[in-house]
Amino acid sequence: MANRQTILVVEDEKTIGNYIETILLSNEYKVLRAMNGTTGLSLCTSHHPEVILLDLGLPDIDGMEVLQRIRGFSNLPIIVISARTQEREKVEALDSGADDYITKPFGAEELLARIRTALRHRLHVGQGQMQPVYSRDGLVIDFERRLVTLQGNAIHLTQIEYKLVSLLAQNAGKVLTYDFILKDIWGPYADTDNQILRVNMANIRRKLEVNPAEPHYIFTEIGVGYRMLE
Ligand code: CA
């Protein structure tokens, strides 16, 4: 009950803003509302919210510019509110420093999960911590020993596969873009494309998932990247 963190909601559509506010208030968050980018920026500097929910289609300043301006002075988690078809926009927002996005229409559970993930990652980053172990639903990754087990059985991954899984697991719950993953695993100058990533992911899923077509641990965010079960 003690989580009185402040969430700034920058959204010009009143019904969506009201919907979000209702969910947040009933979950003990404090809510600030802005109907445009200018107010959003000024509330951000005056009230130091813990998380920002940012719609990209705003009446005055483009949401992407609001995002970049906030990133000019703050690392606070920014979750972009996006429409279903705007994959390029989502990728651009993530590459411009957004922590995550949520696609309209979304439910209360999804919204709250995104906020919890954003707050948790900020805490870990702030303390320079790395999770020692990832453990969810029978899948255990021991980062120190570089050991992956599924329901107690050792899973043999190639070096690249292991790097991929551990990168996603260290960021569990958060979407990672194809570009981000490629740069992280193959280096900034590697001549790679999404194809090599897809091939590796298919191999990983064959080893980890009961049904690779309906993954339980690593989800595809179509046109954007991958997200691992939190
Ligand atoms: Ca809008």
What's the 118 CA to ligand 1 centre distance in angstroms?
22
What's the 112 CA to ligand 1 centre distance in angstroms?
20
Mean pLDDT of 200-208: 97
What's the 3 CA to ligand 1 centre distance in angstroms?
28
What's the 56 CA to ligand 1 centre distance in angstroms?
6
What's the 80 CA to ligand 1 centre distance in angstroms?
11
* Structure tokens that stand for 186 in this block: 């193959």
Residue 122 pLDDT > 60, yes or no? Answer: yes
Q: What confidence tens digit (pLDDT) does each residue in 93-108 have?
A: 998 999 999 999 999 9
What's the 178 CA to ligand 1 centre distance in angstroms?
26
What's the 11 CA to ligand 1 centre distance in angstroms?
6
* Residue whose pair of structure tokens reads 């260290």 in the numeric block: 170
**CA angle, 71 as apex, 67 and 76 as ends, to 5°?**
95
What's the 48 CA to ligand 1 centre distance in angstroms?
23
Nearest to 81 by CA among 72, 66, 192, 73: 66
What's the 163 CA to ligand 1 centre distance in angstroms?
38
Q: What confidence tens digit (pLDDT) does each residue in 138-169 have?
A: 999 999 999 999 999 999 999 999 999 999 99
What's the 52 CA to ligand 1 centre distance in angstroms?
15
pTM listed for this prediction: 0.83
Neighbours of 127 (CB within 10 A): 8
